[in-house]
Amino acid sequence: MKIAISSDHRGYTLKKYIIEVFASEKFEFLDLGTHGKESVDYPDYGIAAAEAVSTGECSMGIVICSTGIGISIAANKVKGIRAAHCTDPFSARMARRHNNANILALGADITGTAIAEETVLNFLTGEFEGGRHQRRIDKITAYEEKY
């Protein structure tokens, strides 16, 4: 599975950690930056990862800023993206099961590495349940297509 990953300067260290922990034959990462701790603007990186998922270049994405909020808002502006800001493993599991989220947003300043690791694992290995949840996703998609 190819995963787009990006962060602003505040999320850079957590982004590197996630790549180191999860890079394997099962998970390949496309690192879309930033590549250092110099101040950058989170929308540039949230949108870059979202576009990689939206176009099919990557099947899922992870975006990181200080809280996870701003970068998730930016990512959600890209058509076809359902970015979920998750602060715990349960939320990540449910974002996949019920919302078919395709991008996980994390807050580096509020999520420690142990929680982030479990949250990422739940997100990347979670599966969409479909059923009644698909009907809800279809409503979101229809609205997105309309505007």
Please identify every residue annotated as catalytic. Answer: 65, 98
**Residue 127 Cα distances to 45, 51, 75, 108, 142, angstroms:** 26, 22, 21, 25, 22
Return all residues near 88 (Cβ < 8 A) that are at least 6 apart.
Answer: 115, 119
The encoded tokens of residue 10 equal 């505040």
Residue showing tokens 């349960």? 90
For residues 60-96, one letter each, b for 16 or more C-beta atoms within 10 angstroms of the residue's C-beta and e for the rest, the string is bbbbbbbbbebbbbbbbebeebbbbbbbebebbbbbb
